[in-house]
Homo-oligomer: A and B are copies of this chain.
Amino acid sequence: MATNNVRVREPWPLDETDTVIVRQLQRDARTPNNQLAELAGIAPSTCLARVRSLVDRGVITGFEARVDPAALGLGLQALISVSVRSGARHRMAEFSAEMRRMPDVLQLFFLGGSEDFILHIAARDSAHVRDFVLEHLSAHPFVASTRTSMVFEHVDRAVTIP
C-alpha cells in the first residue's frame, strides 16, 4: 500500500470543474472570480468556494508573480552539482538550510544518487558565478567537490493536470 504520504491527502481526482479552474489559474492567477466561474460554467459564489477548497486541500499551494532575473540585472544562470564530504553526510539538512538562505539561489535539489545537491543560481556575470562557487561552496567545510554548468535555456512549466 502507498505509505509515502507526507500528510493526509485526498485522493487526487479533480473533477472536470476543478480542472478547468486550476488550469486557468496556472495560466493567470489573477483571473477574476466571475470570469473563472463563467469558464467553469458555475456561479461566482460556487467558484469562490471551489477555489478555496483547492487551496485548503493543498492542490493550489500559492499565487505568485514571476519575476525575470534578467530584468533585475541577473542575466546569467548556472546549475552547480555539489558533492558533500562523506564525513558531513549527516549534516546535509544543515547545508541545505544554509544554501536556501543565499539570495543567489533560485532552486535547490537534494538528490539521491552520485551527486548530493544541485543548485540553480542567478548571477550578474561569470565573475559572480565564480565568486559564488569559491566563497560559498569550495570554501565550505562540508563540500567535497562541485561542477558548474551554464544554463543556455531554461523552460519552467506548470505541472500538467491529468
Chain A interface residues (CB < 8 Å from chain B): 2, 4-6, 9-12, 14, 22, 25-30, 57-75, 79, 96, 100, 103-115, 118, 120, 122, 147-162
Contact indicator B112/A11 (Cβ below 8 Å): no
Contact indicator A60/B64 (Cβ below 8 Å): no
User: What residues of chain B lie closer than 8 Å to A103, measured between beta carbons?
Assistant: 160, 162
Contact indicator A58/B62 (Cβ below 8 Å): no
Q: How many copies are assembled? A: 2
Contact indicator A67/B156 (Cβ below 8 Å): no
User: What residues of chain B lie closer than 8 Å to A150, measured between beta carbons?
Assistant: 111-113
Contact indicator A66/B74 (Cβ below 8 Å): no
Contact indicator B64/A59 (Cβ below 8 Å): no
With A and B bound together, what is the CA distance between A115 and B29 in angstroms? 35
Contact indicator B61/A63 (Cβ below 8 Å): no
With A and B bound together, what is the CA distance between A106 and B107 in angstroms? 13
User: What residues of chain B lie closer than 8 Å to A25, measured between beta carbons?
Assistant: 64-65
With A and B bound together, what is the CA distance between A68 and B9 in angstroms? 11
Contact indicator A64/B27 (Cβ below 8 Å): yes
Shortest C-beta distance, A158 to chain B (Å), equals 6
User: What residues of chain B lie closer than 8 Å to A162, measured between beta carbons?
Assistant: 72-73, 103
